[in-house]
Structures are given as C-alpha cells and as structure tokens.
Amino acid sequence: MDAGLEQINSLLLDMASLSQKAVTASIDAYSQGGKATEVRDMSHQIHALHRRVSDLSMEMIARYQPVASDLRFLKSCVEISYGFFRYGRYALDITQVLDMFGDLSGCDRAFVVETARRTQEMISLSVEAFARRDVETAKKIPSMDDAVDESYRENLRRTIEGEGNVKCSLSAMLILRYLERMADHATYIGELVEYITTGVEPSG
C-alpha cells in the first residue's frame, strides 16, 4: 500500500507543477499580449493525470480498505487532484478569452495582472502546503482569497456602471472570474491539507 500512496503523491506533484506552468503561461500571455498555445496541451496532460489519480485512489480504497490517516489521504487526493485539474482548465479558459477578444494592448491590464499575481501566490502556497503537509502555510491562503473576491466584485461593479471600454471590461471580468475560481480551489486545497494532517474536516 505504501508504494501506491507514494505513486499518488508523485502524480499529484506532477499535476501541481504542470498546473502552475499553465497558469503562468496564460497570465504572461495576457499581460504581455502574446499567445500561450502550449496551455492546451498542458491542460490535457493534467486532465489525464487527474483521471489516473482518481482511478488509483479508488482502486486502493477498494483493495486495502484503509482507515484513519491513509483513508483521509486517499479521499483528499481525489479532491486535490480535481483542484489541480481546475487550475489548468481555468488557465486554458483564459487563453480562450484572449483568442476571443484579440488585441487587448489598449486596455489597462494592471488591475487584472495584480490580482493574477496574488492568485498565483495562493496556488503556490496550496502546492507547497500539500507537498510539505504544512498546515501553517495552508492557513495563509484564506485571507488572500478575500482580496481576489473583492477584485472580481470591484471590476463587476465598474462594468455594470459602464466604466471604461466594453471590450477591456468584459475580457477583464471573464479573466477575473477564472482567477476567483482558482483562488477558491487554492483555499479548499489548503483546508484539505489540514484535514490530511489533523483530521479537521474542511468547511468548503
């Protein structure tokens, strides 16, 4: 059983690395006005790894009927895997927004980029917390989530009130929505790390 647990852990770390690269590529494409064609392939790879983690976790639960910490780990791995998968999927969604709206060089992108960097930090903390089973690192994430939520609401308010260029406002709103969802997943992954380590049930 130990070999299977280690394999799942390794697969999740591979997912974490790929998802971080996908998010970085999509944000860099937005901030620099480029393309991120590699994100689609990375998203597909992450999805395949997610299926592998889910299948292997269920197989181990059925075969070994684990209890206590091993069962918590396996149950949490399925959900953490889904969180890492969503990072990659939302990164792909951001690239699709860029394809849809085209040239955004005339837009003030600083607000979205600042929110993206905060979200990337949350993602990094969620990965670090999982890799090290570090509850203290995980506990840093929720307060950052509030700031990302507020950025999304602020841009939504501006859009509703008709501030700024429509193309800029709508593209920013979509991207901020994807960032807000990534931040939610980062927060939940942090809660799952605490669950794995201490047995405290996540609230999400």
Containing domain of residue 30, as a range? Answer: 2-198
Evaluate whether residue 148 is within a structural domain.
yes
Distance, CA of 140 to CA of 129 (rounded, Å): 10
Distance, CA of 86 to CA of 104 (rounded, Å): 25
Query: Do the beta carbons of residue 111 and residue 172 sit within 8 Å?
Result: yes
Evaluate whether residue 203 is within a structural domain.
no
Which H helix or E strand runs over 131?
Answer: helix 110-132
Number of domains in the chain: 1
Evaluate whether residue 204 is within a structural domain.
no
Query: Do the beta carbons of residue 94 and residue 34 sit within 8 Å?
Result: no
**Residue 171: which of 99, 101, 111 has the closest Cα?**
101
Residue 204's pLDDT band (boundaries 50, 70, 90)? low
Evaluate whether residue 165 is within a structural domain.
yes
- For the chain, give the mean pLDDT: 95
Evaluate whether residue 45 is within a structural domain.
yes
CATH at residue 154:
1.20.58.220
Query: Do the beta carbons of residue 80 and residue 185 sit within 8 Å?
Result: no
Give per-residue pLDDT as tens, 17-65: 999 999 999 999 999 998 899 999 999 999 999 999 999 999 999 999 9
Q: Say if residue 139's pLDDT is above 70.
A: yes
Evaluate whether residue 101 is within a structural domain.
yes
Evaluate whether residue 145 is within a structural domain.
yes
Say what the pTM is: 0.95
